[in-house]
Amino acid sequence: MTLLRFFKRYVVPLWHWYLAGLVFLFLTNWLAVEIPLRMAAGVDALGNDPEAVRTAAFTIGLMGLAVIAVRSLSRVLFFTPGRLVEFRLKNDIFGQLTKLQPSFYSKMKAGDIVSRVSNDMTFVRALVGFGGLQVFNVTLALAMTGRKMFQLNPKLTILTLLPIVIGLAFMQAGVFAMHRLTRLSQTQLSSLSDRILSLLQGVQTIQDFTAEAPFLRRFEEENLEFMGTNIRLAWIRSTILPMLGLAGSTCIYVLLIVGGPMAQRGELSVGQLVAFVTFIAQLLWPLMSLGWLVSVFQRGYTSLQRIDEVLYAVPERPEGETPESLASAPPSLHLKDLSFTYPGEDTPALQGITATLHSGQTIGIYGRTGSGKSTLLRVLTRTWNPPAGTIFVGETDILDLDLDAWRGNTAVAPQVPFLFSDSIAANVAMGPIDPARVDQATIKASLAEDLKALPEGLDTVVGERGIMLSGGQRQRTALARALYRPANLIVLDDVLSAVDQETEQRLIDTFAAIGKDGQQPTMLLVSHRMSALARTDHVLVLDEGKLVDQGTHSELLTRDGPYREAWASQHEDQAPAVQAEPEAVQ
Ligand SMILES: Nc1ncnc2c1ncn2[C@@H]1O[C@H](COP(=O)(O)OP(=O)(O)O)[C@@H](O)[C@H]1O
Ligand SMILES: [Mg+2]
């Protein structure tokens, strides 16, 4: 199944390469038979027909030159499709990686994926390049050289090939052991790669906590195991090659012991005996490579399966077509008994939330750390898919919307923004850069001041994950990114803490006014700041994944609960007023 699908998609389209390669491979093998035959003729003519010897020598020389060209061409023609398959496979995997969702990435580690794309790819390339070449080569060599030998002298052929068969059996055992060890070394390398990756991401933290030693020790342990596996591999590999030589010498030995007397008895000519030596030498490698071939196929197949686990992983993105009416208007969102549990977790992150968020309103979300605010935003932007029938956009289940269209209409500034190692302008635009709009977005996100202090302003490259910038600058860059494109739904996850209160007020107003076609976008605003929440139309109060209260800012202040407590603690000095106000309202 795996192989069939792979061959149909990647190998079959390259059939003309293989066909051309086959033609040259055939020529190579034809020459491999003809040259020894000329040698036989030349040797037998020695001393009695100088003319024939000269002709034989001349043809052998010419054919020898032809072998160089024909053999090289046959190899190039077989190895090129190997590279082409690798090229296409890598592009397809990258495309697939752009589509896969967190549900996939939470299961497969980054190092593992990288190792599949790089390491396993080599084995697949070997399968379609070297593997393809050898399959045809062995078949042709046996069919042409083997057949010719058998025609010349069946008995001698069988006797000389015997040591090769025995050698092959030994070699096969070695190859199996190698196969097992190679697989082990692959997994060990995957794990090492992952350790290196996480070191690169966390090196600052490791240094801050002087945790270098334990990290190094763990790495050294795994690295030692990896080395052990590879040394064992090297041992097996080094014993296999001399064995190949031994099998070859044994063949020659048999040839002299058995073939010599035969030649003396006149059962075959001396020239034919010489031709046999060459035939054996030529068959030795293709036959011995049968063992390698088995391993190339096994490793290629295993690697293909590992690659398939990425390439054919189904991106979890149920979707349908977005109704016309939804595409252009700011959405109204209806949460119906929404619960959500992260895969592998026991406690739900969201539990039974029912609420309506009206089109064009600014909705505040308040709650302690870990209460589910970010999770709520993630299921609304469909970073994670909510269960069916729990979130409706207008009348339509969010899972039935065209996903790209839904996201295209949404601007998100996440709590922990990600910046690419690129210029600020590129990070804001995330695609073709429109300088005027980038300027506007940075001004609105109050990033303009920071830019003046940076060496190259908007063109400053921010380093890996934006390491050159401060946390606040990173968040403001992410804000500018969200402001750069017009959207009907704006989602801000606690990003306003990166700006002062005055800017915060201005930002909320800016965001509320940037909708498409002059319409006021629907906006979701996670914040701890009462001053920000006070400017919203409606506030949801979350606690331990549940919606414990909702209403306008002033309504919430009239009720006992986490919201009023938070307001009170942020306005310590006005505490008495808090007490008084609700009573006055009631
Ligand atoms: N990717 C994740 N996988 C598993 N659990 C998660 C993940 N993200 C958040 N959680 C858990 O879900 C709960 C809600 O988290 P979150 O939505 O980030 O809260 P908040 O944004 O309000 O601080 C927490 O208990 C947190 O540990
Ligand atoms: Mg959060």
- Across the range 140-153, mean pLDDT stands at 90
Rounded-to-integer distance, Cα 365 and Cα 541, Å? 6
Lowest mean pLDDT among 450-464, 500-514, 544-558: 500-514
Q: In the prediction, which pLDDT does 518 show?
A: 65
Question: Is the Cβ atom of 442 under 6 angstroms away from ligand 1?
Answer: no
CB atoms within 10 A of CB 320: 12
Q: In the prediction, which pLDDT does 168 show?
A: 81
Question: Is the Cβ atom of 527 under 6 angstroms away from ligand 1?
Answer: no
Residue 295 has pLDDT above 90, yes or no: no
Q: In the prediction, which pLDDT does 525 show?
A: 92
Minimal-distance CA residue to ligand 1 atom 25: 370
Rounded-to-integer distance, Cα 74 and Cα 68, Å? 10
More confidently predicted of 376 and 252: 376
- Across the range 254-282, mean pLDDT stands at 88
Q: Ligand 1 centre from 348 Cα, in Å?
A: 9
Q: Ligand 1 centre from 339 Cα, in Å?
A: 13
Rounded-to-integer distance, Cα 139 and Cα 150, Å? 15
- Across the range 178-200, mean pLDDT stands at 86
Rounded-to-integer distance, Cα 267 and Cα 85, Å? 51
The answer to whether 282 and 162 are in contact (CB under 8 A) is no
Rounded-to-integer distance, Cα 286 and Cα 292, Å? 10
Query: Which pairs with CB-CB distance under 8 Å and at least 24 residues apart come from 39-46?
Result: 39/271, 39/274, 39/275, 39/278, 40/269, 40/271, 40/272, 40/274, 40/275, 41/271, 42/271, 43/269, 43/270, 43/271, 43/274, 44/269, 44/270, 44/271, 44/272, 45/271
Give the number of the ligand closest to the Cα of residue 350: 1
Q: In the prediction, which pLDDT does 297 show?
A: 86
Q: How confident is the model at residue 444 (pLDDT cuts 50, 70, 90)?
A: confident
List, for residues 305-337, the tens digit of each pLDDT value.
989 999 999 888 887 777 666 667 889 999 999
Q: Ligand 2 centre from 511 Cα, in Å?
A: 20
Q: Ligand 1 centre from 341 Cα, in Å?
A: 9
Terminal CA-CA length for the chain: 71
Q: Ligand 2 centre from 493 Cα, in Å?
A: 7
Q: Ligand 1 centre from 120 Cα, in Å?
A: 34
Q: Which atom of ligand 1 lies nearest, measured to the CA of 369?
A: 23
Residue 340 has pLDDT above 70, yes or no: yes
Domain 2-311 is in which class? mainly alpha
Question: Is the Cβ atom of 474 under 6 angstroms away from ligand 1?
Answer: no
Q: Ligand 2 centre from 383 Cα, in Å?
A: 14
Rounded-to-integer distance, Cα 565 and Cα 562, Å? 5
Question: Is the Cβ atom of 370 under 6 angstroms away from ligand 1?
Answer: yes
Domain locations in the chain as residue ranges:
2-311, 415-486
Q: In the prediction, which pLDDT does 501 show?
A: 77
Mutual orientation of helices 270-311 and 15-45 as an angle, nearest 10°?
A: 160
In angstroms, how far is CA 276 from the centroid of its own chain?
Answer: 51
Q: Would you state the CATH architecture of domain 415-486? A: 3-Layer(aba) Sandwich (3.40)
Q: In the prediction, which pLDDT does 27 show?
A: 95
Closest residue by Cα to residue 14 from 117, 105, 84: 84
Rounded-to-integer distance, Cα 235 and Cα 247, Å? 19
More confidently predicted of 240 and 202: 202
In DSSP terms, 413 is beta-bridged to 492
Q: In the prediction, which pLDDT does 384 show?
A: 93
Question: Is the Cβ atom of 42 under 6 angstroms away from ligand 1?
Answer: no
Q: In the prediction, which pLDDT does 286 show?
A: 82
Q: In the prediction, which pLDDT does 239 show?
A: 84
415-486 matches 2-311 in CATH topology: no
Determine how β-strand 396-397 pairs with β-strand 391-393: antiparallel
Q: In the prediction, which pLDDT does 573 show?
A: 55
Q: In the prediction, which pLDDT does 512 show?
A: 66
Mutual orientation of helices 575-585 and 562-570 as an angle, nearest 10°?
A: 140
The answer to whether 311 and 97 are in contact (CB under 8 A) is no
List, for residues 62-71, the tens digit of each pLDDT value.
999 999 999 9
Q: Which atom of ligand 1 lies nearest, measured to the CA of 376?
A: 17
Sequential DSSP letters for 165-234: HHHHHHHHHHHHHHHHHHHHHHHHHHHHHHHHHHHHHHHHHHHHTT-HHHHHHHHHHHHHHHHHHHHHHH
Tokens of 23: 């033609």
List, for residues 297-307, the tens digit of each pLDDT value.
888 888 899 89
Q: Ligand 2 centre from 366 Cα, in Å?
A: 10
Q: Ligand 1 centre from 413 Cα, in Å?
A: 17
Question: Is the Cβ atom of 414 under 6 angstroms away from ligand 1?
Answer: no
Q: In the prediction, which pLDDT does 472 show?
A: 84
Give the number of the ligand closest to the Cα of residue 384: 1
Residue 575 has pLDDT above 50, yes or no: no
DSSP 8-state assignment for residue 386: P
In DSSP terms, 233 is beta-bridged to none
Report in angstroms the alpha-carbon separations of 129 from 23, 233, 266, 308, 544.
16, 23, 45, 19, 57
Question: Is the Cβ atom of 238 under 6 angstroms away from ligand 1?
Answer: no
Q: In the prediction, which pLDDT does 397 show?
A: 93
Tokens of 136: 């045809």
Mutate to test the pocket of ligand 1, among 373, 375, 492 (most ligand atoms within 8 A of CB): 375
The answer to whether 501 and 529 are in contact (CB under 8 A) is yes
Which residues lie at CB < 5 A from ion ligand 2?
Answer: 373-374, 415
Mutate to test the pocket of ligand 1, among 374, 384, 385 (most ligand atoms within 8 A of CB): 374
Residue 192 has pLDDT above 80, yes or no: yes
Q: How confident is the model at residue 289 (pLDDT cuts 50, 70, 90)?
A: confident
Minimal-distance CA residue to ligand 1 atom 8: 375
Question: Is the Cβ atom of 367 under 6 angstroms away from ligand 1?
Answer: yes
